[in-house]
Structure 1
């Protein structure tokens, strides 16, 4: 490989890493929900603890009715704690830092004036972890920019991936322990069921033997 080729590789690799980091950082999920007039619709995401969550939502009427239908919103933690609740709104936002690991649930339903009575759409922008961090404030506070800022973002991405891997590892260990306990309980239940069946068979055999002797059939 020539010197020019090595130089191109040395330049393109950092650029590729920085571009990939930029795409990862801006991977906040934008979700469109079609909400029936008489039903609730929810979205859920499994998140580990100590993660920042930011969300912004707005109602868009499919039939362009006026006034715009209003909705109620409720966000709950894995243990059922209410983290956000609003009503009679056409748009809103919420933010929190998770202190429980598990599935976080955001539910929406129509509660206000809906002249057409038809479906309405909700645009929900949901950001977690590194995607929810305010990098402009970080850059302004620490007076960093350019490559240094991108490297700081990359460091945040690596840390986020590491935390996710640890969370998945712990979840795997919990599931493995639960599976082992379940298998043990099923094995004991099988042994007990077999013992009960054998006991019932012996009792039936003794009863039939006594019955046949009483009837002088044996």
Structure 2
């Protein structure tokens, strides 16, 4: 029993220490767009923060360094136009790919803008520092709340993976069944063509009185 608890704690700690966070910097040219996709499970929390990198530290950002950000799926839509930074957060109402697209208005002469983007799903999307401040909880309660949320996320992830495995098994069964029918059909066609060829050759030889 103690071994099982130890294994669960180890897995949980690894999950907490290495969250699935997309954090990177990319460049955009005038009149161009760049999109980032994230596969999010239903009812999962997600949050994103984006900002234009100042090319001249200590000075205000140029007016040309503004972007338009759009995040959407089939039933969710977020739009922020001509901004230099911002953030979004939502709970996914459906499972699937969510697309975040960044666009720079066409400028003359062309400019190149660097953008920093953090996309945090699941536990990482929650602002735990604010939770601790607002709830006036001590360090132990803070860690327990975070741990409980992480365990819940792992539990949901396990069910999600089982569902995906079941879908893959169904797909494999359907594929194998179709391949089997296709093989039978191919065999029938080959035998039919062979029979027709034999009949044609036999008729040809009989007409020529060779048999």
For Structure 1 versus Structure 2, the TM-score category normalised by the shorter chain is: 0.7 to 0.9
Picking from 92, 95, 119, the partner of 1:101 is 95
8 Å contact from structure 2 (residues 46, 91) kept in 1: yes
- Call closer, same or farther: CA 1:71–1:205 in 2, change over 3 Å: farther
Cα contact 1:45–1:104 (8 A) shared by 2: yes
Structure-2-length-normalised TM-score: 0.78
- 1:90 paired to 2:88: no
Q: CA deviation at 1:116?
A: 4.5
**Aligned pairs, number:** 199
Normalised TM-score (structure 1) = 0.76
What SS does the corresponding residue of 2:53 show, helix, strand or coil?
strand
Distance 2:65 2:130 in 1: 35
**In 2, Cα distance between the equivalents of 1:177 and 1:62?**
52
The one-character-per-residue Cα deviations of 1:136-181 (angstroms, maximum 9, x if unpaired) are 4533554422112111111111111221122112111111211121
CA–CA distance in structure 2, aligned partners of residues 92 and 98 of structure 1: 19
Query: In 1, Cα distance between the equivalents of 2:15 and 2:209?
Result: 92
Deviations 1:67-95 (A, max 9, x none): 23333322222xx3442133333322222
* Alignment gaps of 5+ in structure 2: 1-5
